[in-house]
Structure 1
Amino acid sequence: MAPIKNGRVLFNEVPSGLPMFHVGYPVPGRTTVYDVSQTIDLDTVPLNGSVLIKVLVVSIDPYLRGRMRAPEVESYSPPFALHQPLHNHGIGVILRTDSSNPAFEPGTHIYGLLDFAEYFIPSIDRLKRFVALKTLLDNPSILPWSAYVGVAGMPGQTAVYGWRAYADPKPNEVVFVTTAGGPVGSMVIQLAKKAGCKVIASAGSDAKVAFAKSVGADVAFNYKEQDTAEVLKREGPVDIYWEHVGGSTFDAFLGNAANHARVIVCGMITAYNDSTGNGVNMKNLISFLSKRIHLHGFLVGEVGAKHPEYVTEFYAEIPKQLASGELKWAEDVSHGLELAGEAILEVQEGRNTAKKVIVIAKE
């Protein structure tokens, strides 16, 4: 076969601003660049003990912004390397396997951290961390592949693992969920309702508010149009706060928290692009003492490693519940790797309508 184009999305430039706050929105064409300079011969490219992967779909998540930083800036995840492809959770299919590495057969669908590329050959170290979906799922065709990087993948696991590990819900407790239109928030709403809780949900558009209501939120509001503190004062106090936002939203919760409230933190997007630092400023911190609030920050991979039973039960139960309609979900799909830069910006600005994914190719 003659060499063909291998489109990739490269990390081209650190967004300007204050590095400690990861300040500055990622600009498509500057921060990230869609590059078509590389070609690949699918039949003859050396595998060097690895495999050749055709990438089908990749996930666009808020945390990607934190990896677009200078290498000297420390954080919980490593920075992207300049002029190298971005990578994130994705689904791919194995096209070729080196005869010295029979772990994955051609035709196997895999889940893991895949390059933002049409085709790529992972390092042996990264290959060891990939998971063959057939080892996890009885019937992987019950959902589109895109679902396995959203509600049936890392975002869904974030909701399920965090809720199970830290929520400790009791019937009739009040739960406040931010970014309720996304895959994590909408899953938390449904878990909270199954536990018999009252759910208050906030989102940044009327469409997301409507979706939050459709999955069970008792009270849902557009935080751009209603004052969060007033809603929580009227509908609270809040026993469990699922935190994605930070800033004034977190402060509104602190001012309307119940005694012994639990805070579960898996994101804080106001701190990612805010040059003022207001995303991390609080006025009601004394509430942690006066109301004996418990704060739980977590990373989904760390919790999953500590509780492997969570992982087993997730894949045994959640995909089936999604396919049957017992659990509801939505996604915002862009077709074509060249749209990844704009998709990343959409998520940072909250313009995505649901879980954002990039479908790169069909089978």
Structure 2
Amino acid sequence: MAPITNGRLIFKEIPSGYPVPGKTTVYDKSSTIDLENAPLKGSILVKTLVLSVDPYLRGKMRAAERESYTPPFFIDEPLYNYGVGKVVRSENPAFHAGDHVYGMLDFAEYFIPKDITKLKVIVRPESTLPYSVYVGAAGMPGQTSYYGWKEYAKPKAGETIFVSTAAGPVGSLVVQLAKQDGLKVIASAGSDEKVKFCKEIGADVAFNYKTTNTAEVLAKEGPINIYWDNVGGPTLEAAIGNSALHGRIIICGFITQYNDEEPYGIKTMRNVLANRLSINGLLVFDHQERYLDEFYEVIPKKLASGEFKYTEDITRGLEKGGEAILEVQKGVNTAKKIIVVADD
């Protein structure tokens, strides 16, 4: 077979503010690949099916020398993130042609991973679940929710939790875990459509933070025993200001700060002392060894049965990947953003 074009989404330039499609990221069709003869050197050839678009990708669009909790993207190299692909060829006994794999995939139609330890064969007894769910509620975002809930929430029936970005893949699963444990749930989201979804999955109080004052809602419906923070900034300030004694704050995202140069100063920090609050930062990979197997045993089954609900916002075509990334950074996506690169 002659070599074929291998489309890739390349990181071209460190952005100032929001990433710009066609400038920060560029869809490139100059690369080719021979599917039958490309040397694998003990690895596998993967056809990319779906890719996850997550807020944290903005933090990887930085100078290589700037340290952070996650490695940077490199100029003129493809972006990468969690995804699902199909094995085309294999020279590794742990993988076979036709296997579906989950893990870190290049933003490319085909690629040969350098580190196959970052890939896991998907065993999918829940065959009704599309593979796209394995980069959302049954993937890293869902794992973030589950691990953080198990590790830091310490929920008690009757307590009150406030979840920001509650219609997203992380927040929506937190809402459902909290209701399962008997908590009152306050949920904020960025559109009336998202607020409706929050109510459908069990939120007792749901509001549009763009049209409703967050601090006023929390003052009326609180105090807050648990705050699940996906945004930082004024929302975190309002949650701290309306916290209960011995409240728990779980910080797993700072979307309001990812594209701003100037950090937001929290004015309610004295409540951390006065109410003896605990604050924990949550990164998913810290807890995989402890909870990964349990997660896959519990969550996909609940999603497949309909006990837990999820939503998706699908972009078709890798060439539109830059626009998908920008949508997530601006918060205009309607649900978990997924790029469908190819059908199975």
- Structure 2 length normalisation: TM-score? 0.98
**Among 142, 160, 183, which residue is 1:156 paired with?**
142
What is the deviation of 1:140?
5.0
Q: Which residue of 1 aligns with 2:198?
A: 212
**Structure 1 residue ranges without an equivalent (≥5):** 17-23
CA distances 1:162-220 after superposition (whole Å, capped 9, x unpaired): 00111011111010000011011000000101111000000111111111111000000
4+ residue stretches of structure 1 with deviation over 6 A?
Answer: none
The correspondence of residues 231-242 of structure 1 with structure 2, limited to 5 A, is 231-242=217-228
CA distances 1:323-355 after superposition (whole Å, capped 9, x unpaired): 111001101011100111000000000000000
What is the deviation of 1:317?
1.7
* Aligned counterparts of 1:253 and 1:353: Cα–Cα separation in 2: 24
Q: Which residue of 2 aligns with 1:105?
A: 96
> What RMSD, in angstroms, separates the aligned Cα atoms of the two structures?
0.9
**Among 47, 50, 55, which residue is 2:48 paired with?**
55
**Among 128, 134, 147, which residue is 2:117 paired with?**
128
- Residue 314 (structure 1) aligned with residue 295 (structure 2): yes
**Among 315, 320, 326, which residue is 1:345 paired with?**
326
- Residue 72 (structure 1) aligned with residue 65 (structure 2): yes
What is the deviation of 1:45?
1.0
Secondary structure, counterpart of 2:285 in structure 1: helix
Q: How many residues align?
A: 344
* Aligned counterparts of 1:163 and 1:319: Cα–Cα separation in 2: 17
* Aligned counterparts of 1:45 and 1:250: Cα–Cα separation in 2: 50
CA contact (8 A) 1:160 1:188 kept: yes
Secondary structure, counterpart of 2:194 in structure 1: helix
Secondary structure, counterpart of 1:259 in structure 2: strand
- Residue 34 (structure 1) aligned with residue 27 (structure 2): yes
- The letter of the residue matching 2:251 is V
Q: Which residue of 2 aligns with 1:117?
A: 108
Q: Which residue of 2 aligns with 1:284?
A: 268
What is the deviation of 1:320?
1.2
Q: Which residue of 1 aligns with 2:8?
A: 8
- The letter of the residue matching 2:99 is T
CA contact (8 A) 1:133 1:140 kept: no
- Structure 1 length normalisation: TM-score? 0.93
What is the deviation of 1:276?
3.3
CA distances 1:130-162 after superposition (whole Å, capped 9, x unpaired): 11112xx4x152200000000000000100110
* Aligned counterparts of 1:221 and 1:318: Cα–Cα separation in 2: 27
- The letter of the residue matching 1:122 is P
Secondary structure, counterpart of 1:287 in structure 2: helix
The correspondence of residues 80-95 of structure 1 with structure 2, limited to 5 A, is 80-95=73-88
* Aligned counterparts of 2:96 and 2:262: Cα–Cα separation in 1: 51
- The letter of the residue matching 1:313 is E
CA contact (8 A) 1:9 1:86 kept: yes
